[in-house]
């Protein structure tokens, strides 16, 4: 996952640099100071790192900055690491509900045989699938 995060960060940095969009990588190997997080337009994280960052942030300062949460490899819900993705989604949904905000979650996967279960978990209506 760390290698994938780095690859995605590099691609986004190269293609979005001309627009002044700041892309940062945040994995177990990297730490970004709060001042840098505030400057980020796009933050690429491993699920584990994002889970830790949002779990330890009691004021939800980081979640306030997020307008769109994109979860790649969502088929990992059915894997050993699935509980981390579940925690991320549950925490984000709870934050949105408590603050009554309009924010989005996009889930991506190349293969997703149980897409209806994932859609139900994410709270997607039948027309949104």
pLDDT at residue number 11: 95
pLDDT for 73 beyond 90: no
Mean pLDDT within 36-41: 87
Query: Tokens in use for 37?
Result: 């997080």
Query: Could you read off the pLDDT of 74-86 as tens digits, one per residue?
Result: 888 878 888 999 9
Domains of the chain, start order: 2-111 (3.40.50.300)
Mean pLDDT within 91-120: 87
Percentage of residues in the chain having pLDDT higher than 70: 95
Query: Are 47 and 88 contacting, i.e. CB atoms less than 8 angstroms apart?
Result: yes
Q: What is the DSSP string of 69-118?
A: EEES-GGGGGSTTHHHHHHHHHHHHHHHHHHT---EEEE--S--TTHHHH
**What's the pLDDT band for 129 if we cut at 50, 70, 90?**
low
**What's the pLDDT band for 43 if we cut at 50, 70, 90?**
very high
């Amino acid at each position: 996952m760390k290698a994938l995060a780095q690859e995605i960060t590099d691609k986004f940095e190269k293609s979005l640099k001309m627009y002044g969009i700041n892309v940062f990588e945040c994995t177990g190997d990297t730490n970004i100071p709060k001042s840098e997080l505030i400057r980020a337009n796009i933050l690429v994280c491993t699920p584990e790192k994002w889970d830790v960052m949002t779990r330890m942030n009691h004021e939800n300062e980081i979640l306030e900055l997020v307008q769109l949460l994109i979860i790649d490899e969502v088929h990992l819900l059915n894997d050993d690491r699935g509980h981390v993705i579940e925690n991320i989604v549950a925490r984000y949904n709870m934050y949105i509900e408590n603050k009554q905000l309009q924010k989005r979650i996009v889930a991506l996967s190349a293969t997703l045989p149980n897409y209806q279960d994932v859609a139900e978990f994410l709270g997607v209506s039948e027309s949104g699938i």
